[in-house]
Amino acid sequence: MIRVIYQFAILITSPLWDVAAFFSPKIKAIVNGRKETNSGLRNLKPSLKKRIWIHSASLGEFEMALPLVEVLNDGSCEFHFSFYSPSGYENAKLTNTNSFKWYLLNDSMSDAKNWIKHLSPQLAIFVKYEFWLNHLIATNKNNIPFIYWNVLLRKDHFLNNWYAKSWWKELKKAKKVFVQNEFTKEVFHQKQIPAETIGDIRFLRSSQSLNRPSDLSKEWQLELKKFQNIIFGSSWDIEEQAAFEYLKNSSNNNFKVVLVPHDVSKNNINRLINQFKQFGIFLYSNGTPNKLNSNRVLLIDTIGLLQSVYRVGSFAVVGGGFKNALHNIIEPLSCSLPVICGDQTEKFPEAKFALNNKALIQCTTPIDIANTIVQLVDCPELMVEHREYAFHFFNENLPDLDNAFYYCRSLMTN
C-alpha cells in the first residue's frame, strides 16, 4: 500500500513542477535540466567502455564520490554523474573526458525505466542519502549491481520507520553499503545487508585539498599572516552579531575578524558593510591587502575562498549552528582550527564527536560566542591547547579506504 501511495504521489505532483518553475529559479533549473537529460539520453550512443552511474544529491555528495572515481578511473570506464539539485549539477567539476553529468529524472516508474534503458550502466553508486525507490526498482529489474557510498543514517531517518518496507526490499539487493559510523552499519546489518564502516570521506577530501595551492594571492596570504585571524566561515546573521559583540568589547587590533558570509548577495554585503563600518571594514574584492592594517574587519565578498582563508586562521566560528543547519566544520579542523558554533547541531554527528574531543566549543547565544572569543584571544595557552585538540581529532578521523577501494574495483573486473 505504501508503495502504491508513493507512486500516486509522484504521478500527481509531476505536473506541479512546471507550475512551480514559474516562481522558483531553482525548480526551473531542475525542470529544464530534466528535459535536457531526456533529450540527451535518447541520443546517447552505445559505448565500448563500462558505464558507471553515480548519483549525488548535490555538490557535497559529488565530492564524496571523487576518491572512489579516481580509483576506478583506469581508462576502461565512463562515469555518468546524476544530480538532484542545480548546486550540484552547475558546480560539479568533471575530472576527466570520460565523465558526464545529468539531472536525475523524476522518480516515477516510467522515468526510472527510461533512465536505466538508455544509460544501461554496469554499476550504480548511490552517495549518502539517495534512496530513490523507482530508480532502485529499475536498477534491480535490470540486474545492475549497485552499492551505497558513505551512507549516514540518524535514528529519525525514514528508513527506520515501518512504512519503509518497499525501500528495504530493494536495498537488500545491494552488493555492499559503505557507511560513516557504527550506528548506520548496525541498521543495515539488522536487515542482512552487507555493510562496512569507512568513516566520513569529507575528512579525506579536506586533507587532500590542503595539498592544492591556495586560492588566495600570495599578497593576501602574506598580509593575513601578519595577524591572528578569527574566521567566521559561512556565517549567518546570528554569528555576525557575535562578531559585532566581540569587536564592540575588544580593542585588540592584532586579531582581525574575517567574515566569509553564507550569503554574498549585494544586499547582504551592503548590510554587513553598514553593520561593521564603525570598526573599519575592508572588502576582499577591492584587492589591496595593505589596507588591512587600518581595518579590523575583512569581508570576503567572493565565493570559493573559504578553505584557503581557513589556512591563515587562528580559530573559526562556523555558521548555521543555531538553526540546526551547521556548515562544514571539517574544513577548519583540517587546518587545526578549533571551531566555535551554536548548540543546535543534532543533525550533525561530527559536531558531537568534535565536542567530545574538545575540538569544538558550542555556545548558546551570540554573547556567549563573543565571550568565548575573548577567552581564546586573551589566553594564548588555551588557544594552543584547543588547536592541538583540533589537530588530533581531525587526523584520528581520516578514513582508511583501502579495503573499500579494492572491493569496488573487483566489481568492475569480475
**Binned average pLDDT, 10 residues per bin, the chain of 414 residues:** 69 68 81 90 90 94 94 93 91 88 92 95 95 97 97 92 94 97 96 97 94 93 95 97 96 94 95 97 86 90 94 98 96 98 95 97 98 96 97 96 95 81
Sign of CA dihedral 53, 59, 61, 65: positive
Domain ranges of the chain: 2-199+399-413, 215-396
User: What pLDDT does residue 397 have?
Assistant: 96
CB 411 within 8 A of CB 124: no
Q: What kind of architecture, by CATH, is found in domain 2-199+399-413? A: 3-Layer(aba) Sandwich (3.40)
Other C-beta atoms closer than 10 Å to the C-beta of 382 total 13
CATH architecture of the domain with range 215-396: 3-Layer(aba) Sandwich (3.40)
Q: What is the pTM of this model?
A: 0.88
- Is the Cα torsion angle 83, 44, 66, 110 positive or negative in sign? positive
Q: Same fold for the domain at 2-199+399-413 and the one at 215-396? A: yes
Say what the pLDDT of residue 29 is. 87
Confidence (pLDDT) at 251: 87
> Which run of H or E residues covers position 299?
strand 297-299
Residue 11's pLDDT is what? 66
pLDDT of residue 414: 67
